[in-house]
């Protein structure tokens, strides 16, 4: 058994990529409703099964939380937790003809009950542009091992892009004070928004209710790239406990842009 969770994260990303490549049109709904109340599609289920089979084959001492099945406890003596979204951006995958971003998010936590600051490995794959990143507990790298550092000199101006999750009505209301002060954008997926930030073509990302299976990868990859990741009160998300029952408000990215956004939404209360 190999407990090198950075290695396992990388292997799982490669497996997801292989599944995407070999099954480009698994867009049909399965008829099932996942634990979040969304309709499952075949690609969600296939990648999830691939991940679970890999974890069991390697006898990783983890409890599992996935968007589709929820919690799965299979190991007799789990010491870690893994949370993943097997297909983030499922609507983009379904309708986008490989133009809209979609992919996979994974995070391993130390302990079966843990905080976001205790993530020991994480990864993200954005399939449409063949982009991927790993977090090793300290730093974020691309798959070639190059260290990723977020751009710090973004100016506060109308053309500066920040990618915010606008799926929920609450998101429009929360972030409306930012309109025409910076450029609010959205890719339709968490992985798409995150990929633009980690590629330094965006200054920040945000969401009013990021899901538990997504938040760990977002938090760790951004912090590992020198960025900040806070809630809407400006508190670092690292002290937040992982809970499948929770959602997490988040603003993250370049410090001065995040601080500007926080100030604007607080003043609008």
Paired tokens of 92: 């983009």
- Domain housing 112: 5-142
Residues 11, 91 within the same domain: yes
238 assigned to some structural domain:
yes
Residue 99 has pLDDT above 60, yes or no: yes
* The total number of structural domains that make up the chain: 2
Residue 32 has pLDDT above 70, yes or no: no
Percent of the chain with pLDDT over 90: 82
CA-nearest of 152, 219, 159, 208 to 185 is 159
Q: What is the pLDDT of residue 161?
A: 98
The mean per-residue pLDDT over the stretch 125-147 comes to 96
Strand 29-33 and strand 131-135: the pairing is unpaired
Q: What is the tens place of the pLDDT at every residue in 236-258?
A: 999 999 999 999 999 999 999 99
Residues 137, 13 within the same domain: yes
More confident residue, 37 or 29: 29
CATH number for position 93: 3.30.540.10
Residues 118, 188 within the same domain: no
Helices then strands, counting H and E runs in the chain, come out as 7, 14
Choose one of 142, 173, 206: the last residue of a domain: 142
CATH number for position 212: 3.40.190.80
Residues 254, 167 within the same domain: yes
C-alpha 202/C-alpha 195 separation (Å) is 9
Q: What is the tens place of the pLDDT at every residue in 56-95?
A: 999 999 999 998 788 889 898 999 999 999 999 999 999 9
Of the pLDDT bands very low, low, confident and very high (cuts 50, 70, 90), residue 37 is low
Neighbours of 211 (CB within 10 A): 18
Residues 9, 124 within the same domain: yes
Q: What is the pLDDT of residue 27?
A: 80
C-alpha 107/C-alpha 84 separation (Å) is 6
Residue 33 has pLDDT above 80, yes or no: no
Residues 127, 171 within the same domain: no
C-alpha 42/C-alpha 239 separation (Å) is 35
Of the pLDDT bands very low, low, confident and very high (cuts 50, 70, 90), residue 1 is very low
pTM, entire model = 0.94
């Amino acid at each position: 058994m190999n407990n090198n969770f950075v290695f396992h994260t990388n292997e799982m990303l490669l497996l997801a990529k292989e599944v995407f490549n070999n099954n480009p049109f698994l867009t049909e709904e399965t008829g099932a409703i996942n634990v979040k109340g969304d309709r499952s599609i075949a690609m969600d289920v296939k990648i999830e099964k691939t991940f679970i089979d890999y974890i069991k084959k390697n006898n990783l001492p983890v409890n599992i939380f996935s968007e589709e099945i929820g919690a799965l406890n299979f190991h007799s003596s789990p010491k870690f937790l893994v949370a993943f979204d097997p297909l983030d951006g499922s609507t983009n995958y379904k309708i986008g003809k490989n133009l809209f971003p979609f992919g996979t998010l994974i995070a391993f936590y130390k302990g079966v009950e843990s905080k976001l600051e205790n993530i020991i490995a994480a990864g993200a794959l954005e399939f449409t542009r063949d982009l991927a990143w790993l977090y090793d507990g300290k730093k974020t790298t691309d798959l070639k091992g190059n260290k990723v550092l977020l751009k710090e000199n973004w100016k506060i101006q109308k053309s500066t892009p920040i990618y915010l999750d606008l799926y929920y009505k609450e998101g429009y209301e929360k972030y409306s004070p930012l309109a025409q002060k910076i450029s609010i954008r959205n890719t339709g997926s968490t992985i798409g928004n995150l990929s633009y930030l980690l590629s330094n073509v965006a200054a920040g990302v945000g969401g009013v209710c990021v899901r538990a299976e997504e938040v760990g990868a977002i938090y760790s990859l951004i912090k590992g790239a020198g960025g900040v990741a806070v809630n809407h009160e400006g508190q670092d998300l690292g002290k937040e406990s992982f809970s499948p029952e929770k959602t997490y408000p988040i603003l993250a990215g370049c410090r001065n842009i995040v601080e500007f956004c926080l100030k604007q939404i607080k003043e609008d209360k």
